[in-house]
């Protein structure tokens, strides 16, 4: 039997799978970064303890404000970038804002650094950027 060469796959042709999009890579990168931050011992950060509930009333505020910031950042960035890159910018700006707010809470207000707030920030940013990217089309 002769050796057949599959023309669809080649060492010179990179894999172009269905999950090779910027948003998927951003999501995976953020999950890894959040996991590393959570698993690292951040001794300078005060944990919020048991009073920080997953569905506390401030979590809705984090979700809504993050969705609005991400949507605005995505729409602004869409003027000069394609929708996928604009959504990445929107989520990145939102997460930088959320991290800054948590460091402010921990350092200046001397309350605590809430990982749960950051999770809600990321969920809101993802929803807001996705809706804005779809609306810009």
Domain boundaries, the chain: 58-137
Place 94 in a pLDDT band, splitting at 50, 70 and 90: very high
pLDDT of 77 strictly over 70: yes
Task: Work out the average pLDDT over 55-82.
Answer: 89
Ranges of H-type helices in 40-82: 57-77
What average pLDDT score do residues 64-85 get? 89
Going by C-beta distance under 8 Å and a sequence separation of 6 or more, which residues neighbour residue 51? none
Angstrom CA distances, 78 to 20, 71, 102, 136, 137, stand at: 20, 10, 28, 7, 9
| Residue 85 confidence (pLDDT) above 80 | yes
Burial class (CB in 10 A: 0-12, 13-18, 19+), 119: middle
pLDDT at residue number 64:
94
Task: Determine if the pTM surpasses 0.85.
Answer: no
Distance separating alpha carbons of residues 42 and 40, to the nearest angstrom: 6
8-33 confidence digits (pLDDT tens): 555 555 545 554 556 666 666 766 77
Long-range contacts of 86-90 (CB under 8 A, 24+ apart): 86/129, 86/132, 86/133, 86/136, 87/22, 87/23, 87/26, 87/129, 87/130, 87/132, 87/133, 88/22, 88/23, 88/26, 88/129, 90/125, 90/128, 90/129, 90/132, 90/133
Radius of gyration for the alpha carbons in the chain, expressed in angstroms and rounded: 19
Q: What are the two backbone dihedrals, phi and then psi, of residue 133, each rounded to the nearest 5 degrees?
A: -65, -40
């Amino acid at each position: 039997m002769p050796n057949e060469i599959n023309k669809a796959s080649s060492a010179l042709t990179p894999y172009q799978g269905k999950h090779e999009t910027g948003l998927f890579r951003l999501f995976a990168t953020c999950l890894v970064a959040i996991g590393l931050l959570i698993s690292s011992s951040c001794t300078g950060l005060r944990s919020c303890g048991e009073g920080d509930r997953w569905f506390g009333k401030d979590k809705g505020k984090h979700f809504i404000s993050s969705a609005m910031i991400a949507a605005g950042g995505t729409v602004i960035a869409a003027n000069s970038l394609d929708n996928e890159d604009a959504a990445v910018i929107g989520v990145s700006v939102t997460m930088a804002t959320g991290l800054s707010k948590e460091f402010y809470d921990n350092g200046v207000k001397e309350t605590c650094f809430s990982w749960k707030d950051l999770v809600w920030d990321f969920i809101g940013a993802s929803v807001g950027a996705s809706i804005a990217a779809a609306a810009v089309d």
